[in-house]
Structure 1
Amino acid sequence: MKLSNTAIRNAVTKDKPYRLFDGAGLYIEVHPNGGKYWRFKYRYHGKEKRLSLGIYPDVGLKKARDKLTHVRQQLSDDIDPARQRKQDQAKSSTEHSFEGVAREWFGKHKHNWADSHSSKMIRRLERDIFPWLGTMEISTIEAPEILSVLRRIEDRGSLDTAHRAKQNCGQVFRYAVATGRAGRDPTTDLKGAIPPTKINHFPTITDPKAIGSLLRHIDSYRG
C-alpha cells in the first residue's frame, strides 16, 4: 500500500528503527528519536545499495517521489545514483575551492599573457598558495589566513614574490566575486602588511657622450 502524508505524520516511535514502504524501493525509516528519513533501496550491477533522499518533513512525500523518479532514471541509464552523488558533491566542492576558482580564472585569461608570464604565475600559485589555501572554500578565506601564507614567502627572502602572490590572490578573489562565489576580496585588507620591495636606483649619467647615446636609443625605441 502506498504511503500517505497522514500515515507518515502519525507514525509513532518505537524502541528500534522501523520502515514504512511506499513502493519501487522508496521507504521512510522512523527512528526512536522521532526522526523520519527517506531511503531508496536498489540494486546496481547485482549489488544491493541504499541512498538517502532527505529528512521528513523537509522532504515531503511528493518531493521524495520526485527524487525517486530522478534516481530511477539514472539507474535506467546505467548510472549508480550513490556514485553520481559523490561525484557531483566533489565537483561542487572543487568549483568553490580557492584552487578550483584560481585554475578556472587562469584558464580563461592565460591566452592574454606571454607563455613565460603565465608559466611563472601558475608555478607561483602551485608552490606558494595552493598547498595552504587551495582546498579551502574561497568565500571563507579571510585576510589573516592569506597574510600567513604570504609571510612564508617573505620569510625565505622572496619579498617581490610575496607581493606578486598577493596580487594574484586578489585577481582570483575578484573573479570569485564576479562569478558569485565570494562576497569580497580580502586582499584589500592587506595594504601595507607586507614591507615594500627595495628599489635599486641607478647612478646618474653625467658623461655628455653617454647622455647622447641614451637619447638616441630612446628616440629609436619603437616598443
Structure 2
Amino acid sequence: MSLTVKEINGLIQWIDDGFKPVKKPHGKGWLKRKKPPGKEQMPVKLFDGNGLHLLVTPNGSRGWRYRYRFAGREKLISLGVYPKTGLQRARDKRKEVEQQHADGLDPSVVRQEKRSQEKAARLNTFAAAIWEWSDRYHTKTGAAKSTKVRNERIVKYLVVGLGKTAVAEITRPAMLSTVETIEKEHGTETAHRALSLARLFFEHLAVKGMITGDPTVGVRQEIGEVVDKPRSAIVEPKKIGLLLRDIWNYQGQPATIAALKLLAHTFLRPGELRQANWSEIDFESAEWIIPTTRLKQRRTHPEPHLVPLSDQAVAILQELHQITGPVGFVFPSTRKGRPLSENAFRVALLNLGYDGDTHHAHGFRKLASTRLHALNFDSRIIEKQLAHAVPGVAGKYNTYDYAAERRDMLQSWSAHLDSLRTGDNVVAIKSAPRR
C-alpha cells in the first residue's frame, strides 16, 4: 500500500514528540497497518512501494531513497529531502530514474555525470575561470598588494558583463560591449587596463587549450586613446650622480639594492627585471636572456630579449649570486617563493628621498635614453636595447639585432655611470658609428 502525506506527517510528528504513547494513531493508514516503532528501532523507513521509501533518522533528517538493482548489484539513490521534496515530487523523480534504468543506464552514474558536467560548466564560466586565474597570476608574479586590489576591482567590472558566459563562447562583440561599458562608467584608462588584463587571461586559456580564438583582438582600436603621463626621471648628470651614490649607499635588502643598480646599468623595465630567474643569466657569455613571456612588447617582439652584460653588471650579479643563487629568483622577496614586488622599488626610492614625482623606477629607461642620445649613440641601437617596437616598414623588415653594438654601448654606459657616481671627471664615452 502507498503512503499518504497525512500518514507521513502524522508519523513524523509522533517521532518528533519523542515516541509519546498515543491513544489514537495519527492518520488512518500507516500506524494502523504496522506496530509503531520504538526509539531504539530508529532510523525508520516509510515505504511507498516500487523501491521508494522515506528514511527518518534520530537526528531529524528525512530523505527520500530509491532502491534498485543494476548489473546484479543492489543500489540506492537519494531523491531529495522531505518536506522540500514532497511525496508527489518524490514519485515523479522515481519515474525518472525508473526510465533511466529501463534504458539500460545506471541512475547513480547518470547523476554523477550530470554533476560533473554542471561543475565543469560552472568552472568554465568567465567569472569562475578568471577569478581562479587572477589568484594564481598575482601570486606567481609577486604583484604588490595595491596592484592586486586594483586588478581585482577591474576583474569585477569584467565579470559584470561576461561572468555567466562560458569562456569558449565569448565573442569579440561581447568583449567590446563590456569594455565600452567599463569606459563609460570608469574611464578610458580603466577600460584599457581591463582589456590588457583580459588579454593575458585569454592567452592563458589559449595555451591551456580551452579556447581557440582571442576575443580581445581588435577591441583596443574601438575605444578611446589613453594619454600617457610621462614617468618622472632624473636626467641631469650631476643629479644622476647623486641618485647613484644614494643607491650605492642604501642600507636595504641586498636583492632590492642589486635590482636598483641593475635598473641603472641595463635600463630594463622593472617588471622584466624583478621576475628574473638565475637560469636566464649566463656568466660565461655575460648575457641575460629575458623570455618572451615576460616582455611587454611580446606581440611585436616575439623573440627573447638579449641583454649584454657589462663588467659592472656581471659583478653586481655575481655578488648577489652568493646570496640568492644558484637557482630560483634572482631578486627574491622576503616572502618565500616570490620575486620582489612592484612596490619594492617605490618604497626603496622613497626611503632614499625620491618620490614618484622626482624619479620613478621606470625612469631609469628615460634617464638612459636621454643621456645616450645626448652622447650621440645611434637611436636604433638604443631603441633595440629598450626593446621598443619599431613602427612601420623598418620594424617589419629590419631584423638586425645590433648585439655587438649594444654590448659596446652598455659597457661604455656602465663606465659613464661609474664616473657620474664617483664624481670623477666624466668619461667621454665613444659612441658607436652611425650606420
Relative distance call for 1:218 and 1:159 in structure 2 (3 A) is farther
**2:159 aligned counterpart, secondary structure:** helix
CA distance in 2, matches of 1:153, 1:68: 46
Matched with 1:103 is: 131
Alignment of 1:60-209 (within 5 A): 64-68=103-107, 70=109, 81=111, 87-112=115-140, 113-126=143-156, 128-156=157-185, 158-201=187-230
- Alpha-carbon contact 2:101-2:107 (below 8 Å) kept: no
Aligned pair partner of 1:50 in 94, 100, 104: 94
CA distance in 2, matches of 1:131, 1:117: 20
For residue 131 of structure 2, what is the amino acid of its counterpart?
R
- Alpha-carbon contact 2:195-2:220 (below 8 Å) kept: no
CA distance in 2, matches of 1:96, 1:174: 15
For residue 123 of structure 2, what is the amino acid of its counterpart?
E
Structure 1 unaligned blocks of 5 or more:
1-22, 27-40, 72-80
- Alpha-carbon contact 1:176-1:182 (below 8 Å) kept: yes
Relative distance call for 1:166 and 1:45 in structure 2 (3 A) is closer
Aligned-pair identity in percent equals 20
Relative distance call for 1:69 and 1:134 in structure 2 (3 A) is closer
Structure 1 residue 44 displacement after superposition: 5.8
- Alpha-carbon contact 1:25-1:42 (below 8 Å) kept: no
Matched with 1:78 is: none
* C-alpha RMSD of matched pairs (Å): 3.9
Aligned pair partner of 2:238 in 209, 212, 219: 212
Structure 1 residue 43 displacement after superposition: 5.7
How many pairs align?
167
Alignment of 1:1-40 (within 5 A): 24=68
For residue 216 of structure 1, what is the amino acid of its counterpart?
L
Structure 1 residue 175 displacement after superposition: 2.1
- Alpha-carbon contact 2:168-2:210 (below 8 Å) kept: yes
CA distance in 1, matches of 2:152, 2:218: 24
Per-residue CA deviation, residues 3-54 of structure 1 (Å, 9 max, x unaligned), is: xxxxxxxxxxxxxxxxxxxx9489xxxxxxxxxxxxxx9866684423757x
**2:146 aligned counterpart, secondary structure:** helix
**1:200 aligned counterpart, secondary structure:** coil
CA distance in 2, matches of 1:67, 1:134: 34
Structure 2 unaligned blocks of 5 or more:
1-66, 71-76, 83-89, 248-256, 261-435
CA distance in 1, matches of 2:191, 2:108: 53
Relative distance call for 1:146 and 1:87 in structure 2 (3 A) is same
For residue 136 of structure 2, what is the amino acid of its counterpart?
K
TM-score by length of 2: 0.33
TM-score by length of 1: 0.59
- Alpha-carbon contact 1:174-1:184 (below 8 Å) kept: no
